[in-house]
Amino acid sequence: MKVIAHQTSPILLDLKANLEDVTSRIRHAAEKGAHLSVFPELALTGYFVGQKYHEAALRMDSPEIKALAKATQGTAAVVGFIEETPAMNFYNAALVAVDGNILFAYRKLNLPNYGVFEERKFFASGKRVQVFTLHGFTMAVFICNDLWHPSLPYLGVVQKADIFITIFNSSQGSMGNEFSNIDSWRIINTFYSRIFGIYNVCVNRVGEESWSEKKSVLAAETATMPASEAITVSLPEEAFHFWGGSEIVNPFGQQIAKAALHEPDEIHAEISRDMLRQKKILLPYLRDDDPYFTHRELQRILFDKGGNDPDS
């Protein structure tokens, strides 16, 4: 199965331009024989959407989503976007469409809410780790911070995932100067492939966006100010550079395709069932994994307050 990872540079809050770019790339990839196209987190909106998140949100029955699904005729795609539900909840989501049909939208489960990250202020959290099948392969979708919580990839593997689709928006400096996002993502992507014996299609974005912290001045220094005169202070904007470096990693933890840093790119790889089989034979790390044991231990840890361990 041929997979293409599209390392794009979305225009912040320009839904129309981003949608045209994504649908065009899907069609061109299909002409090249791609069975699956994968795009970054929030590929239709950009990342620092702030309080305008609702202006770029799409419902699953919107014309834009229908156009995106139509573009997948003869192929498939995973595309990051902002989903609005009929209940008016908003999600950092990934649309999964196959051969012109919408399968589902995966909703990011672990929303960061520290430093420059404000996702939990705007988005609701997902509730499921979903998988889908394509050309005989089982795939699990994850969005950025989901991969930093090992229980979630494990839930994908328990559902027999052969391939992880990992989409993210990672920029330099967003976690401080003491921390390298580039090194950390390389380690994470390789780790899960090597331990779980899965392919990992990892797609980051490129480009630059600015973020500024906004603080409402309602503290002691304005205690005598009438509420109608309360103001909001915007601190100086800081530019963040999304570094790209998308990669596709095989079940042995070996990088088989690598995108450029800091510029749009496109990489592809052939997903081989023979290699998945070879890894399971040579290094069967998960052969004796028992999810029922994991379930029992979680039940004990979470609900057994009496500590009824006969060996304690």
CATH of the domain at 17: 3.60.110.10
Tell me what pLDDT residue 309 has: 57
Examine the pLDDT at 81 and tell me if it is beyond 80.
yes
Tell me what pLDDT residue 219 has: 44
Query: How are beta strands 101-107 and 90-98 bridged, if at all?
Result: antiparallel
Total structural domains in the chain? 1
Examine the pLDDT at 173 and tell me if it is beyond 60.
yes
Tell me what pLDDT residue 214 has: 60
Question: Is this structure's pTM higher than 0.85?
Answer: yes
> Which of the four pLDDT bands, split at 50, 70 and 90, describes residue 238?
confident
**pLDDT tens across 97-112, in order?**
999 999 999 999 999 9
Which residue bears the tokens 């779980």? 196
Tell me what pLDDT residue 172 has: 80
- 84 in a structural domain: yes
- 21 in a structural domain: yes
What is the span of the domain harbouring residue 74? 2-210+238-303
Examine the pLDDT at 223 and tell me if it is beyond 90.
no
Catalytic positions are: 41, 108, 144
- 206 in a structural domain: yes
Cβ neighbours around 178 below 10 Å, total: 5
- 229 in a structural domain: no
- 222 in a structural domain: no
- 308 in a structural domain: no
Examine the pLDDT at 228 and tell me if it is beyond 70.
no
Examine the pLDDT at 234 and tell me if it is beyond 60.
no
Examine the pLDDT at 175 and tell me if it is beyond 50.
yes
Tell me what pLDDT residue 221 has: 47
- 273 in a structural domain: yes
- 216 in a structural domain: no
- Contact in structure between 199 and 276 (CB atoms under 8 Å): yes
* 3 state DSSP class of 22: helix
Examine the pLDDT at 274 and tell me if it is beyond 80.
yes
| Residues contacting residue 255 through CB under 8 Å, at least 6 positions apart | 190, 247, 248, 249
Dihedral, CA of residue 264, residue 205, residue 257 and residue 188, to nearest 10: 160
